Amino acid sequence: MFHCFINFKNTSPDDNTVICDQFHISARTEQDIRNMEHVISELLDRLGVEHLSRFMFEPAIFYPEGAEDND
């Protein structure tokens, strides 16, 4: 499973408070996760929101039905 964490900063409407948050998305393929990140990043750019993206791959092991992990 591929993951993307988008950290972003914005200021409150009164310009007194910096708001920091993280958005997480996941997908089964690297191409899907990169496409989603690109769309979200483009939207944040257009809104003028400072952001940074990080990608992560989490390997998964699938066993055929009825098979057991004996390790």
Task: Write the CA distances from 39 to 7, 17, 22, 25, 35, integer angstroms.
Answer: 15, 27, 16, 12, 6
Q: What is the pLDDT of residue 65?
A: 62
Please state, in angstroms and rounded to a whole number, the distance separating the CA atoms of residues 9 and 11: 7
Per-residue pLDDT tens digits for 2-57: 999 999 988 777 878 887 889 899 999 999 999 999 999 999 999 888 899 999 98
Q: Looking at residues 53-69, what average pLDDT do you find?
A: 69
- The confidence score (pLDDT) of residue 44 equals 93
Q: Residue 59: pLDDT band by 50, 70, 90 thresholds?
A: confident
CA-to-CA distance for 55 and 13, rounded, in angstroms? Answer: 30
State residue 32's pLDDT score. Answer: 95
